[in-house]
Structure 1
Amino acid sequence: MKVVFMGTPDFAVPALKALYESEHEVMAVFTQPDKPKGRGYKLMPPPVKELAMEMGTPVYQPESLKKDPAAAVEILKQYEPDVIVVAAYGKILPKEVLDFPKYYCVNIHGSLLPKYRGAAPIQRAVLNGDKVSGVTTMKMAQGLDTGDILLVSETEIGENETSAELFDRLSQMGAELMLETLEKIDSITPQPQNEDEACYAAMLSKDMCPIDFEKSAFEVHKQICGLSEWPCATTTVGGKLLKVYKSEIVNGDKVMGKPGTIVDEKSFSVACGKGAVSFKIVQAQGSKRMSADDYLRGKPVKKGEQLGEPLPTE
């Protein structure tokens, strides 16, 4: 089958790689424009572009498909794809593009649609303490993740699994489900989504970062797991910012002490409104990410010490 692929970040890479390793032919790749990164603001290619260039596939990086659908269609005419596979492309596809392939545009989405349409489905599932997540392939429509469902694959979310870890698992599951979808494309009957069950996964923002220890240990733990990698849950220790990437619930039921105080200095356990959490991977201001044990060796905390105090203003 002739395929045009549209995707941008790491989540999309396993799907593109799976296509290269299959009997399908990747004719062209669309991805977002290179963006400045790092201190030097050097232009860096998206992960999908790196793989496509390595494989010698033509790459297109339009600023927008919606503003000039005719230009996109002219490109597609060169390749006459049977299907367009879309994975976290980050651009709106106009009707002219959606209608172009012989079959249709197949989208890989990191949730069990219609739940968590939108930009941050994986993070929201973890933040909300969901026990199950998964991936969906759908026949793309003009609405945001509103297309008919093709295939679904479910997985349990681990008790201490971060959104970054789930992201990696779902990207692999999405690649496998996409290949299965292409294999069964002639026999699949697309199923309309149940609009009554639809909800949206809004983008994350940095104002979600500060940990409120008045909340239960479960809520604090899921905040840490859900915001892992970016934008990352934060607190303060001794007047300095501390990022927290991984944690565990120590005791979810008992009141362990005043919220935000250290209840066990050896395990970096902090009291919450109900229960306590133990920090496992942290990053101090101006330092590298490290295990909580390594952090405590250099900067020990004391039982009863209060975390989460406002940072001093200059």
Structure 2
Amino acid sequence: MSRLVFAGSAPFAVPALQALTTAGHQVELVVTQPDRPANRLQMTAPAVKLAAQELRLQVFQPDRLRAQEAVSRLAALKPDLLVVAAYGQIVPASVLSIPTCCPLNVHASLLPRWRGAAPIAYAIREGDRETGVTIMAMDAELDHGPVLTRQETAIRPREDAVELTSRLARLGAELLVDTIARLSEIQPAVQDHARATYAGKLSRSDGELDWSLAAEALDRHVRAYRPWPGVTLPFAGDRVKVLSGRPLTGRGQPGAVLRSEREGVEVACGEGSYLLKEVQLSGRKPMPARLLVVKRA
């Protein structure tokens, strides 16, 4: 079994960490992002930190992984492997060179498609029918290194980013353990860099949409941008956050309310229509969309 350092932060990385310990690997150190302020009175710990504490593993939270003290601490451990999954920082060459074997990355796409920070959101938003997980040997460039193993899976018709992230996290954890067990026999495959596509970090403005989009495209955005940044749309002079809905085939002037009933509020889009089911106004709790029309009546 391997002695390793694990670097991860987001919930996607938790199953991988748990699977490594279950498989008997010796996790010498868990590197994760610093705690962040949730509000003025409370700090929030990364999901990986909480998981590591439950597993009674040592946690290290440097502000910058490239800082000399961080590099020195990792180098002193002399790990066989460095495993990275949804860590949230670029891993510098000074850290990649530390493990005696190779640095491994668990990436939530079928590389070279969707390199970058938000591969799951981009796959749903762009209407991909298939995605998966890639285990790659890291180099100094973003998601650029040779592929060791990969596992494909279909994206389900109504699947959102939360559901797909959970599925891919479990798939990636299984694939990671299997890959490490077979490292000596795996022949790395160089990526076709000419076919690379990029999934940049999402910002709040990405979710600010309008009704001129086709209903199918709008639906993909809603599912892709859960939970962050979420989709907001103009409604009766305000903006409403869309928590759930589905595309329909109604017609009308984009933004016009076609009907309102118990199931939700149907609004015309650039092509087709969209049924708002659950929404949230700024500073309010989530509510059924039909209440929007009542409040505006």
- Fold shared, TM-score > 0.5 on shorter chain: yes
Q: 1:106 matched to which residue of 2?
A: 104
Q: 2:239 matched to which residue of 1?
A: 241
Native 8 Å contact 2:30 2:59 kept in 1: yes
The Cα offsets for residues 41-72 of structure 1, whole Å up to 9 and x where unpaired, read as x332211111212222111112222232xx34
The Cα offsets for residues 173-203 of structure 1, whole Å up to 9 and x where unpaired, read as 1111111111111111111110110011111
Matched, 1:256 2:254: no
SS for the counterpart of 2:212 is coil
Native 8 Å contact 2:64 2:70 kept in 1: no
Native 8 Å contact 1:225 1:247 kept in 2: no
Counterparts of 1:29-40 in structure 2, within 5 Å, are: 29-40=30-41
Q: 1:56 matched to which residue of 2?
A: 56
Counterparts of 1:134-213 in structure 2, within 5 Å, are: 134-213=132-211
Native 8 Å contact 1:215 1:272 kept in 2: yes
SS for the counterpart of 1:268 is strand
Provide the rounded CA distance (Å) in 1 between the counterparts of 2:40 and 2:138: 38
Among candidates 273, 278, 291, match of residue 276 of structure 1: 273
Task: Please identify, of 222-231 and 90-99, the stretch whose mean Cα deviation from structure 2 is larger.
Answer: 90-99
Q: 1:18 to 1:281 in 2, by over 3 A?
A: farther
Query: Aligned partner of 1:91: which letter?
Result: Q
The Cα offsets for residues 3-53 of structure 1, whole Å up to 9 and x where unpaired, read as 21001111111111111222212111111112211242x332211111212
Query: Aligned partner of 1:22: which letter?
Result: A
Deviating runs (4+, > 6 A) in structure 1? none
Deviation, 1:208, is 2.0
User: Taking structure 1 as the reference length, what is the TM-score of the superposition?
Assistant: 0.87
Native 8 Å contact 2:66 2:94 kept in 1: no
How many residues align structurally?
A: 293
Deviation, 1:204, is 1.2
Is there any run of 5+ residues in structure 2 with no aligned partner, and where? Answer: none
Q: Using the aligned pairs only, state the percent identity.
A: 39
Q: 1:180 to 1:289 in 2, by over 3 A?
A: farther
Is there any run of 5+ residues in structure 1 with no aligned partner, and where? Answer: 306-314
Provide the rounded CA distance (Å) in 2 between the counterparts of 1:130 and 1:152: 17
User: Taking structure 2 as the reference length, what is the TM-score of the superposition?
Assistant: 0.92
Native 8 Å contact 1:33 1:46 kept in 2: yes
Task: Please identify, of 114-123 and 30-39, the stretch whose mean Cα deviation from structure 2 is larger.
Answer: 30-39
Deviation, 1:77, is 4.3
Matched, 1:26 2:21: no
Provide the rounded CA distance (Å) in 2 between the counterparts of 1:65 and 1:210: 33
Q: CA RMSD in A?
A: 1.9
The Cα offsets for residues 196-251 of structure 1, whole Å up to 9 and x where unpaired, read as 10011111122222222122111111111111211111123333331102221212
SS for the counterpart of 1:265 is strand
Provide the rounded CA distance (Å) in 2 between the counterparts of 1:155 and 1:281: 29
Among candidates 277, 286, 295, match of residue 283 of structure 2: 286
Native 8 Å contact 1:228 1:246 kept in 2: no
SS for the counterpart of 2:110 is coil
Provide the rounded CA distance (Å) in 1 between the counterparts of 2:181 and 2:154: 26
Native 8 Å contact 2:222 2:230 kept in 1: yes
SS for the counterpart of 2:184 is coil
Native 8 Å contact 1:265 1:301 kept in 2: no
SS for the counterpart of 1:74 is helix
Matched, 1:300 2:297: no
Native 8 Å contact 1:160 1:247 kept in 2: no
SS for the counterpart of 1:169 is helix
Q: 1:129 matched to which residue of 2?
A: 127
Deviation, 1:301, is 5.7
Provide the rounded CA distance (Å) in 2 between the counterparts of 1:161 and 1:280: 16
